Amino acid sequence: MLSKQIIAVARARSILSVRNTVGASLTRGWDFAASRTRTSRFHSSKLLEAITVKVPTMAESITEGTLKSFSKQVGDSVSADEEIATIETDKIDVSVNAPESGKIVQILVAEEDTVTVGQDLVIIEPGEVEASAPSPSREAEVPTENKAKDSAEPPNQQVNKKMPEPFAPSAGDKKPLEKETLKTEAIPRKEKETVPVTRPALGSRGETRVKMNRMRLRIAERLKESQNAAASLTTFNEIDMSSLMEMRKKYKDQVLKEHDVKLGFMSAFAKACTLALREIPAANASIEGDEIVYRDYVDLSVAVATPKGLVTPVVRNTETMNFIDIEKEIAFLGKKARDGKLTLEDMAGGTFTISNGGVFGSLYGTPIINLPQSAVLGMHTIKDRPVVVDGQIVIRPIMVVALTYDHRLLDGREAVTFLVKVKEYIEDPRKMLLA
């Protein structure tokens, strides 16, 4: 009998222990699930944290710029790497792109503000880009709301919303007004002073003020710096363009067909200057402190006019190029300049500059040195002029060329010799094959 009681007590204790174990396990399971839920909520909130877009690094020498325009506004959706703003510097325009897809929730600066590298620009809330349906215009919403309000008012509380009628004085008010008028007329008036009659100005005399962009400010600063620093002097010469024009006319169609590039005069002048710079190395040098830097390579800066101002992309190592290579590179850089796609690397450096004002019809001109270079060649328009050839007066196409040089580095003998060498190469292009 005692043994049966002992067995019953043991079974009861085992059942209780199992129940307690199961309850504890369930409790631990709910606690673990709750902690994982909190963890997942925390991570999901981290994924939705807003991203601050900053001013990107532009170049070593550029630390600030002007924010010209925003291509996106608050509430707009943007895709990853999509342009959201444009920053104008004194050399190039820099695009600011979205790092991730999302929606713009705040713009921290205004257009035309000066911004520095690393400054906060825009706050983006990450997320998938969704095409939102166009919302109805505000003008369409207002009449609907007013109509709803009017219909909600009881008929006995609706107010007549017509404009008030203009005030008309009553018959009783006219008499005092007439007396006041008589009193005013009775006061003696001073004689009117004679005012000289001026003729109205013919045409408009309005004025418009426009803020200078950073590139124009930088160009002005550089040109004035060149005038103040260099001992500039200009020498001129005339070039008979007959031989070069004949060569161009003979081969331009073949070059266009085989190389898909137009054969112009710039390649011939670039090659002629490259050969002349090898003979007069001082024209390819520059002054740095109390030293003169001579170079065994030629990087030609070619002046290109753009809507924002004059830029000088660089054709590098022209001593290794022929006419076709130079024409291709000039055409490529010219297109990038007109499209506003030039980079700092395209304009950095340069040992000598060629400026062609002749495309705009310039007959004479004195180009300004592009520091730290020591000389610049100016090309001008071609005009038929009478010249003496072998004792006979003949009509020839003549171009006036100008060389502005830094007299601190080049003497007159070297500058004139350089320009004469260019003249000889252009008047007989076959000499370039023998140089």
In total, the chain counts a number of residues equal to: 435
d(CA 303, CA 286): 19
Eight-state DSSP code of residue 59: B
CB atoms within 10 A of CB 228: 8
Inter-residue contact 371 to 352 (CB < 8 Å): no
- Alpha-carbon distances, residue 394 vs 181, 238, 323, 384 (angstroms): 92, 15, 30, 10
Could you confirm whether 411 is annotated as catalytic?
yes
d(CA 115, CA 55): 7
Sheet bearing 102-107, strands edge to edge:
51-54, 120-126, 102-107, 77-78
Q: Pick the catalytic residue from 31, 81, 407, 428.
A: 407
Could you confirm whether 380 is annotated as catalytic?
no
Helix (H) or strand (E) holding 44, with range, is helix 2-47
Which residues are registered as beta bridge partners of 237?
A: 401
Which residues are registered as beta bridge partners of 268?
A: none
d(CA 84, CA 95): 8
Q: Pick the catalytic residue from 113, 150, 173, 411.
A: 411
Inter-residue contact 301 to 313 (CB < 8 Å): yes
Residues taking part in catalysis: 407, 411
